[in-house]
Amino acid sequence: MAPVYSDLTPLGSEALDFKLLGIDGKTYKWNDFRSARACVIAFICNHCPYVIAIQGRLNTLAQEYGSRGVQVIAINSNDAIRYPEDCFEAMQVRSQEQGFVFPYLWDETQEVARAYGAVCTPEFYLYSSQDQGEGEKDRKWFLKYKGRLDDHWKDEKAVTRRELAMALDDVLEGREPLFEQKPAMGCSIKWKRDAS
């Protein structure tokens, strides 16, 4: 199957709110992560070989940057009826097997993926915030990076550019990521057949 490439979402776009069930049984909203210095939203799933190839690297990045105030949030939006390996229970198993250190959320209605313009797995969005005068509760979050994790999805040993990490370093130092941002590549999000 031919890979799907992510669309270009304009940098500077504001993050959209969501309310999703996590594999721990808790409901998460964007506002729950307002104390972070930066947030990464990763659209992933269980069965996609592109995701399977990078899931360990994503977990490592979440551990590495978590100590620097970065919050990674993973979202699975695939149709679990046609792809039962992406169902909620399977998400719980995968998270436990891999020791995920980030929330793994279920976008059962697929509304969040559609709102964000996600088209493939894995696909990464990096947001940083700006105070709007009143502190954390008034922060607005803006897109600083959208694309791939690094420059070699299949083989971690062949990676020469950790592009999401590069963007995180820039954002944490107060800089705009100015390098060319390459689109994410992976499996298409498995949309529900009755969705418009």
- Cis-peptide into 3, omega within 30 deg: no
What rounded mean pLDDT belongs to the chain? 93
Side chain identity at 113, as an amino acid letter? A
Q: How far apart are CA 176 and CA 78, in angstroms?
A: 32
Q: What is the DSSP letter of 100?
A: -
pLDDT tier at 135, thresholds 50, 70, 90: low
Domain 4-188 is of which CATH architecture?
A: 3-Layer(aba) Sandwich (3.40)
pLDDT of 193 over the 90 cut: no
Q: Tell me how far the alpha carbon of residue 108 is from its chain's centroid.
A: 16
pTM of this structure:
0.94
Average pLDDT over residues 46-58: 97
Give domain limits for the chain. Answer: 4-188
